[in-house]
Structure 1
Amino acid sequence: MRRWVWLGLRLSIGSGRGGLLRTALMSSGAALGVLLVLGALATVSVAGAQHERAQARTPVWDETGASATTLRVTDIGDGIGNRPLRRTVVAGVTADSPHPPGIAALPRPGEIIVSPALRDLIADDPRAAGRFPQRIVGTITQAGLLAPNELLAYVGTDPAPPPPPEHAELREHQPVTGFGAPLQYALGAESSGPDAFTPARLLGLAFALFVLVPFGVYLATCARLSASTRDRRIAALRLLGVSGREATLVNAVETGIVTSAGALLGLAGYALLGPLSQGWRIGRLHWYAADLSLPAMVIVVVLTVTVAYAVAIGVVATWPARTNPLAVRRDAPSRRPGLWRLFPLLAGLGCAALAAVLGGKDPGQPEALLFAGALLLTGLALPLALPTLGYAAAGLVARLPGTPVWLELAAARLRHAPGVAPRLVAALTVMIYVAGLGTLGVGLLANDRGLVPTDDRGGAELYQVLGPGSVPTAELRQLPGVQVVDLRSVQATVDGRASTLLLGACADLTGTFVLRPGETCVDGTTYRLEFDGGYGWAGPPEPGTEVVTEGGVRIPVPEQVLHLTARFNMAQLGELLIPRQSPLGATLESSALFWPALVAADLATADRAARVVAARSPASFLQGNFGTRQGFDGNLLVTLLVTGLTVSFVLGIGAFAAAAVDRTMERRRGNATLSVVGTSPRTITAGEVAFGALPLTIGLTLASLATAALAATLASLLDLAMGRVLDRIAPTLWLAAGALVVGLVLIAVPAWLTQRITAEQLRRP
């Protein structure tokens, strides 16, 4: 047994320059793959570390209100530009008050403690400085932050007055007895509140799988480098009397040693790059270098699976050499690929078409699962169909009149060994398919306005002022482009049923609603209100209907009706509009649960209003759209998908380059024989290029057509415009053309540069 292990070791490091090149290619392939896989799995470690730190700083509220502590905490989400800001307001701080990790003590009124990123932003950006006029008394350390770029501030304020009974259940009025409560909602690396940690773990696993698929193709390609030479070597051992088991052991040791060296090199690269990565980012995801540490068992599993997979590929692929060594040594022609290889591809496209037919205009889960299965089956079937199509194309080329010698040579080689060239181009074929569907998926996930039209209301947005603090209404009214909407709800019974009325001015009503053309609202007039679009509203009461407020005030129902359409997603509804300026409006009691709303002309105006609210009443905040991206939303998912597609592209090009260089080195013996009989170097190079170009063109064309067919099916399922969908995958055609050019260059350059003939190439088997 020992001598066969030693022979495998000897073959892995002592097979001449060609063997050393193959060893280098295999090792570098394993190293790159292990580095990318560990990097993908590190996202799980980062998410877990961020989750723990977020939980450690989450307040523990006493919902019973029985605690004697005076500490009250309000977590507020804000935004500065497109960056989320988390503002934690604390009141009633005493010397023995608990504090979260990352700070030594909570700030007192007029003081703030900020993260390093926020400290720098306050110094440079007036939008941040305007929110925090308080004195900075400390900096939050890594233990209290999710990521180095997080904007977080602890703001000290005076205790709020005792809340009314109806407000007692709000979190900001409940005593805080400590920190470290379980997270109840999620958060990403730059969110305003803890809300996406469990999805982050799942996304990390999905991203790892997304990397593992092209890595599997890459590693399989590397494991079969110099396949013909290695098969002849195994066949020679079998003809010399070595048993099949012993030949398998030799091959397994050779592949295992080379792959293990590459895997360890990838691990060393990960260990070296990890500490240097703290300033890096993926989109808006940042991390601490310490968060990238992986459990030792995970690393062992990755290394073991990588080596075992490469060995398994090598053992399975050399089965013909072990079972029929004489045919391999004589370089006998391979069997003609069967037509059955086309059936899985046709079945995948057929399942997609069936899903479109069954789904019609209202697809459900069965159709979605059928379409997902079609995507997977089609991707797996593309490499399987290439030998049959390549064999047929080579036969067609050979029968064409006036075929050049170099093209006939390529066609003959392709028919002699129909499985070699497709193995060369399989990685690029699958990469183009993944890129095409990935591009379309990115467009859908990003809510592409050209692909999935959305309602655009323009720049104006509605914001609600919330929080226990007082609202600086007078200052907000002075801001250009800001309208303070003071519509108050009045509880009433309408014809014996509970309902609400609206108390306010016409300007308040038209600030959030649009009147029908021709209608006007006159201050001092009571109106019945009818809301276009329904909203589940029963409609305005008829004149003469009994309307009585909670305070016992009877409201006469007028004839006048206003038909309203909401300008924003938030809409305050009521059956009647009672003018505040009228004697009746002065006698009504509005709901105590009232916070004013603001209509801001654009995001810059909304930011100015948010600055005023934060500076004058730190415990209050604006709720609405500030253009920030939080958690694992569509924008971040698009970034991660594009990153995954980039990794796939790199692995696909890497696999093709390794296979192309190895193929050139392996063909040097055959090309040297052609040179001896007088074949020109130009003809030999052209033949090598054509040998790869035929299956590469077929594979890229097939991948592009399959992508277009599936995209058209998806358009039918989602009822999207076919032209828009095809426009989104049009870049895939350019990518396929670029991959063809790159592939031809990677074949042509090594073939042209390796034309020098030596006696060793003529003798060496």
Structure 2
Amino acid sequence: MGARFAFTGGRQGWTRTLLTGVGVGLGVALLLISTALPSALAARTDRGDARSWLGSPTAEHPGQDTLLIARAAQSYRGKDIEGVLVEAEGPDAPVPPGLTQVPGPGELAVSPALKRLLDSPDGALLRERLDGRITQTVGDAGLTGPAELLFYSGRSGLRPAVEGFSRVERITAFAYERQTEKLGPVLVLLVVLTFVALLLPVAVFIAAAVRFGGERRDRRLAALRLVGADSRMVRRIAAGEALAGSLAGLVLGAGFFVLARSVVGGFDIQQRSVFPADLDPAPWLAALVAVAVPAAAVGVTLFALRGVVIEPLGVVRTAKPARRRLWWRLLVPLAGLGLLVPLTGRGDDGGEFNRWQVTAGVALLLVGITALLPWLLERLVGRMGGGPVSWQLAVRRLQVNTAGAARLVNGIAVAVAGAIALQMLFSGVEDDYTKDTGQDPGRAAVSILIGDDAQDDLDQLARQVAGYEGITGAVPLRSVQAAHTAPAEDGLIDVTIGSCAALREVALLDSCKDGDAFLATGSDDRARTYGGTAAPGDKLFAGNVRGYEKAVAPVPFTVPAELPRVASRPDPVGALRAGLLLTPSVAPADTGGYGSRQIFVMAEDTDGDGLERARTAAYKASPLSTAMTLAQTKRDAGYSTVRIGLFFGATAVLVLIGTSLLVSQVEQLRERRALLSSLVAFGTPRSTLSLSVLWQTALPVGVGMALAAVFGVGLGVVLMRMAAAPVRIDWGPVAALTGVGAGVVALVTALSLPPLLRMARPDGLRTE
């Protein structure tokens, strides 16, 4: 009978069911997306591993099934582009996943997202760099996500370097078995907290959605008592109606999930994206959602009816309600604290956190907001009176139905409190997962390490780069190893070659002119010099001093007679060099491709066209060049992954909050349609009614945000102590998050004004 009321109870019945279904469906959709995220992330990782050649079987000599391959990652306008150079040495060379064949010389295979970028006006400078002929588009099997920027460039003349390590490898298959790194206890704590803080508001919204139309339902149940139903029967009917609405919500939620999955491929957050097919919830998790949501709907409905006496002549709840008690409401957050406080001070050195204990403690603390908010709001509005008509209408409405107003704000308050606690914990442990790279972006914006296949003169390339608009300087440096005898394995000496301006980037020089030489003291760690040193007049060999290639002879040279000792200084990338520092005229001649060549590029703007042209020049000179953007700090990969996941989840929860609040607001206005029409019929201006709706929202939101700030900061302090992080409260983000929560509610209230004006008409008094 309850199900029939839900679907065949006239326009009001199915409208109420539809609103309940939409509210529950939005929550169900987010729950399904949450359960699908682990599989989506696993699929991204699997496809990335499938195309990796780290640990792949290799060959020493060319063969029918060998492929030369090297990484050529690029950067463009602040976006990372994954690049790979390939050269097939035989017809059976392994083909990268997502391709039908290995690109030949001059051919390019690009991802769909990179092709769109190249075809756009913004990709003009990138087209100059990747000037090959596009012959293939990388399929989904070779991409981690639809928004990934990836290219394979066919080459000729690639060769593994001879100095024991090389960026060019000769492989016979793609195969990489990832060794999963275990997250530390604090990162696990962050993951658990993220899931609880994001999913708990969803549960609160679902619990509020199943109570849509509660007052009308109770009046209808009173009519059933009049025709013979007993109190237990009407509760079963109410449970059946809630069950029907939740089942409708499951169907709508599945539809919302399918719709969201179909459009998710178009989203790109911090260059992270997923394929729609990857969002595939685990069957057991989907089944758990399908069972838990209807069960929760029935439980919430019966719990809401516990204090309502439904009699044949009406609902006793319409009388003055009893004052809410405080003691049991305080027990909920205190129980949460009781679970979390014993875990204080552990951090990464105190062993694993009990995940269930953390989950229960955080959930109880956040649920404590929903328990305290009605009591606090009741005490506040109970003391109010007087003021303009709009204020009096709002206050009186809140006095009559404090629980309904609290339900409207509960979800957003829980979400804001969780966000504040998350922000505090992330800020507190950020220093532990952020490392100083030693690089100095103030001295150079980009460091270009030229590949050993470059034919261009290093100084000429540096002059070309320095001539681009926006580039303020380009400093070239060469590095090579030297020894007293060749071949040699020990006693090697590092030799750095450059102009006086370039050498000043690596050492403190009082005076310098071409023809000078210096001996850099380096650091206390003498491992870089391999135990070797040089004296004035020494006869040395440079280049192929280890004898890797018989055809390339080491180059002899003589150390100048004057060799002052100078103190080293870290170069822009943070390396502290030791050994010989030589100006060009006293440096050894061409060393046959041995050694490294580097250009430090200074620029006015790190995102300007000049730097992009500099990267293009380096790529043209040598596709194996590495143009590294210098940054002072670097974040731990696991920490960054958790933070990006939080960003995804927070975005989805924010959309759910806004949409669900709008549905809830419209439902409350619909229930009060007759009352609003009566007020208009008696001459109440619509502007007064609009202001009363705004006040009815502003008061609960103000109380809810204040409570959320208190609980969020308190939970944040507890979590920071658990993570053994120094407790510091940055009030700026706390105020910002509170303001965002209030802003969402204000926006929803503004969007609900047009329905209010349509309902506030005298003809709304008509009824059957």
Query: Which bin holds the TM-score, normalised by the shorter protein?
Result: 0.7 to 0.9
**Is residue 263 from structure 1 mapped to residue 250 from structure 2 by the alignment?**
yes
For residues 711 and 20 of structure 1, what CA distance do their matches in structure 2 show?
43
Amino acid at match of 1:652: I
Query: 1:594-618: CA deviations, max 9, x gaps?
Result: 3222211235555444434433443
Give unpaired runs (5+ residues) of structure 2. 467-472, 546-556
**Is residue 597 from structure 1 mapped to residue 595 from structure 2 by the alignment?**
no
Native 8 Å contact 1:40 1:204 kept in 2: no
> Which of residues 564, 567, 592 is equivalent to 2:568?
564
Amino acid at match of 2:370: P
Q: Which residue of 2 aligns with 1:488?
A: 480
Q: Which residue of 2 aligns with 1:181?
A: 176
Query: 1:93-127: CA deviations, max 9, x gaps?
Result: 22232322333322344444444444555566453
Q: Which residue of 2 aligns with 1:28?
A: 22
Instruction: Please list, as runs of the form range in 1=range in 2, the aligned pairs for 1:95-494 lying within 5 A after superposition.
Output: 95-119=91-115, 121=117, 125-160=123-158, 163-164=161-162, 166-167=163-164, 170=166, 172-173=168-169, 175-183=170-178, 211-231=198-218, 233=220, 246-272=233-259, 274-275=261-262, 278-292=265-279, 299-321=286-308, 328-329=315-316, 331-340=318-327, 343=330, 378-397=365-384, 418-434=402-418, 436=420, 457-458=441-442, 460-461=444-445, 463=447, 465=449, 469-470=453-454, 472-474=456-458, 475-479=460-464, 480=466, 481-490=473-482
Query: 1:267-318: CA deviations, max 9, x gaps?
Result: 2344356445544444533444444455666555444433333233223322
Query: 1:525-553: CA deviations, max 9, x gaps?
Result: 55454558x77999999x99999999899
**Is residue 697 from structure 1 mapped to residue 699 from structure 2 by the alignment?**
no
Q: Which residue of 2 aligns with 1:622?
A: 626
Query: 1:649-694: CA deviations, max 9, x gaps?
Result: 3433444444444344445677899999x89688998877766654
For residues 116 and 760 of structure 1, what CA distance do their matches in structure 2 show?
59
Would the alpha carbon gap of residues 42 and 738 (structure 1) be closer, same or farther in structure 2, given more than 3 Å must change? same
Q: Which residue of 2 aligns with 1:577?
A: 580
Would the alpha carbon gap of residues 577 and 211 (structure 1) be closer, same or farther in structure 2, given more than 3 Å must change? same
Q: Which residue of 1 aligns with 2:553?
A: none
For residues 135 and 689 of structure 1, what CA distance do their matches in structure 2 show?
61
Would the alpha carbon gap of residues 428 and 295 (structure 1) be closer, same or farther in structure 2, given more than 3 Å must change? closer
Instruction: Please list, as runs of the form range in 1=range in 2, the aligned pairs for 1:489-528 lying within 5 A after superposition.
Output: 489-490=481-482, 501-505=493-497, 507=499, 510=502, 513=505, 519-521=510-512, 524=515, 527-528=518-519
Q: Which residue of 2 aligns with 1:4?
A: none
Q: Which residue of 1 aligns with 2:551?
A: none
Native 8 Å contact 1:148 1:286 kept in 2: yes
For residues 160 and 391 of structure 2, what CA distance do their matches in structure 1 show?
90
Secondary structure of the structure 1 residue equivalent to 2:85: strand
Give unpaired runs (5+ residues) of structure 1. 1-6, 187-195
Offset at 1:220? 0.8
More divergent stretch after superposition (680-689 vs 328-337): 680-689
Would the alpha carbon gap of residues 673 and 329 (structure 1) be closer, same or farther in structure 2, given more than 3 Å must change? farther
Offset at 1:421? 3.1
Secondary structure of the structure 2 residue equivalent to 1:58: coil
Amino acid at match of 1:74: A
Query: 1:435-454: CA deviations, max 9, x gaps?
Result: 5556667888999xxxx999
Instruction: Give the TM-score normalised by structure 1.
Output: 0.73
For residues 86 and 534 of structure 2, what CA distance do their matches in structure 1 show?
52
For residues 229 and 441 of structure 2, what CA distance do their matches in structure 1 show?
78
For residues 339 and 204 of structure 1, what CA distance do their matches in structure 2 show?
33
Native 8 Å contact 1:445 1:638 kept in 2: no
For residues 536 and 30 of structure 1, what CA distance do their matches in structure 2 show?
67
Identical positions, percent:
23
Query: 1:25-70: CA deviations, max 9, x gaps?
Result: 1011123233334445554454344444334433473257489554
For residues 693 and 67 of structure 2, what CA distance do their matches in structure 1 show?
77
For residues 453 and 294 of structure 2, what CA distance do their matches in structure 1 show?
62
Q: Which residue of 2 aligns with 1:189?
A: none
Amino acid at match of 2:405: A
For residues 104 and 255 of structure 1, what CA distance do their matches in structure 2 show?
54
For residues 544 and 80 of structure 1, what CA distance do their matches in structure 2 show?
43
Native 8 Å contact 1:114 1:152 kept in 2: yes
Secondary structure of the structure 2 residue equivalent to 1:225: coil
Q: Which residue of 1 aligns with 2:731?
A: 726
Native 8 Å contact 1:488 1:591 kept in 2: no
Native 8 Å contact 2:438 2:573 kept in 1: no
For residues 577 and 415 of structure 2, what CA distance do their matches in structure 1 show?
53
Q: Which residue of 1 aligns with 2:2?
A: 8
Native 8 Å contact 2:108 2:135 kept in 1: yes
Amino acid at match of 1:419: A
Would the alpha carbon gap of residues 641 and 511 (structure 1) be closer, same or farther in structure 2, given more than 3 Å must change? farther
For residues 555 and 758 of structure 1, what CA distance do their matches in structure 2 show?
100
Native 8 Å contact 1:686 1:748 kept in 2: no
Amino acid at match of 1:424: L
Amino acid at match of 1:622: T
Native 8 Å contact 2:191 2:642 kept in 1: no
Native 8 Å contact 1:57 1:144 kept in 2: yes
**Is residue 73 from structure 1 mapped to residue 57 from structure 2 by the alignment?**
no
Would the alpha carbon gap of residues 423 and 284 (structure 1) be closer, same or farther in structure 2, given more than 3 Å must change? same
Secondary structure of the structure 2 residue equivalent to 1:599: strand
Amino acid at match of 1:155: S
Query: 1:682-727: CA deviations, max 9, x gaps?
Result: 89988777666543332223334555677799999866986xx333
More divergent stretch after superposition (201-210 vs 142-151): 201-210
Native 8 Å contact 2:267 2:273 kept in 1: yes
Amino acid at match of 1:569: V
Q: Which residue of 2 aligns with 1:611?
A: 616
Would the alpha carbon gap of residues 554 and 134 (structure 1) be closer, same or farther in structure 2, given more than 3 Å must change? closer
Secondary structure of the structure 2 residue equivalent to 1:486: strand
For residues 327 and 748 of structure 2, what CA distance do their matches in structure 1 show?
28
Aligned length: 719
